[in-house]
Every structure is written in C-alpha cells, then in structure tokens.
Amino acid sequence: MKVRENLEVIQNQIADACKKTGRDPGEIKIIAVTKYVTSERAQEAIDAGVPHLGENRDEGLLQKMNELGDKPVWHFIGTLQTRKVKNIIEHITYIHSLDRLSLAKEINKRSDSKVKCLIQVNASGEESKHGLHPDDVIGFVQELKQFQNIEISGLMTMAPLTEDEQLIRESFRTMKRLRAEIQSLKYDYAPCNELSMGMSNDFQIAVEEGSTMVRIGTALVGNESEVQ
C-alpha cells in the first residue's frame, strides 16, 4: 500500500483510541520510523503529511538528511553511543534515548543550544531492553540540572514483547505516572510533556494510555523491523 493510504488507516485508529479516552487526536505526533526503507519511501511519508521522521543509526540519519534535507523534524530513536553524538547533534530536534550521565555530558558539550531529550525508561523490566529502571528516573532528572543545553522534553519506553495486553498497559501507565511526578517538580529544564511510547503493534493501546508520540515503521512505511 502507499504510505498515504497507510497513514489514513493509522490516523483513524488513533482517532478511535482518542475517542475512547476523550483525547484530541491532534495531541499525537506520528513518527515515521524509516530505518529499513529508502529515502524515496521516506519522502512518501513527508508528502503524505508526516513531518516527523525517526532514525536509529547515525549513518542512516545522515544519509537520509543528505537526500531529503532539513524539511522533516528528525528524531534519533535508537541507542546513542557517546562517541557518535557529534555526528548527529546539529541535525536532530529530539533524542529519545537519553539514559546515562556520560551521554548527557556529551550532548551538552557538543550542542550550542538546548536539545530536546527524552529519557529512556525500561518500564517492562526486560533485560534485553535499554533504559533506566523507573525507580531511578527522578534522581536522574535531578542530576541533569547541571547541563544547560539539555531540556527533558519527556520519557520514552518500549512495551514488553507479550500478547498480554494488561502487561503492556501497565508499562505505559508506569510512564504516565512518572511523567506526572516529574511535572509536579516544576523544573524549568524538565517540562516533560511528551510520552514516546507505542509502535506498529501497540500504538492504539499507547494512545489510550497517554502517549503523545508513536513511533511507527511497519504499519506506515513498510519497515522490516522496528527493533531499536
């Protein structure tokens, strides 16, 4: 199917999820995960009206930026090695995978202005996933106060790989509670308005549970995988 047709299906599904919970579909940013597709396919997403593109690797990000330009809002959504921060920092608007102080220090050093960062949280507790334990998030946020070029724009997680919908919902609810706790602290550098959660197989559940950013590859642009 064409990306435009896929997008229409996804938008309808998001609208249905929002209707169940009294949300405005306009609150939800759809991020097209373009790691496994060509720049031509990514351009289809842009032409269809998706301004947000997500890449998992610095090489893929830079290649698509060279071919597509600065028109998309670029999100780095994969694990970010400290030594590769310098390669992407001037090109991205959001980093979804801040999970350690050494990375924060490098982002702060390499940027001349505030970078919108989302803290990656391992809400499911699975050993295969990256991210902070939920109990460590508040302390991490407080440590980030020292970095003037970092804004904590929100939190990111990946749901557990399970057929158990209740477990998926609980991981998303953990994130929503954490966001509320951070917002209650009223730190200027940590507005924490965004919740990046939900991919092709669970974005409707994520929207019902409060997600503001959904990272969709397979269902939108036909990715072979969304593994980060």
Report pTM: 0.94
**Three-class SS of residue 132?**
strand
State the distance between the two ends of the chain, measured CA to CA, in whole angstroms: 24
The pLDDT tens digits for 86-128 are 999 999 999 999 999 999 999 999 999 999 999 999 998 888 7
pLDDT at 226 over 60: no
DSSP string, 53-75: EEESSHHHHHHHHHHHTT-SEEE
For β-strands 52-55 and 29-33, DSSP reports them as parallel
- Tens-place pLDDT, residues 53-92: 999 999 999 999 999 987 899 999 999 999 999 999 999 9
Model pLDDT, residue 225: 37
pLDDT score of 149 more than 80: yes
What's the CATH fold of domain 3-220? TIM Barrel (3.20.20)
User: What would the two tokens of residue 116 be?
Assistant: 């919108």
Average pLDDT over residues 156-161: 93
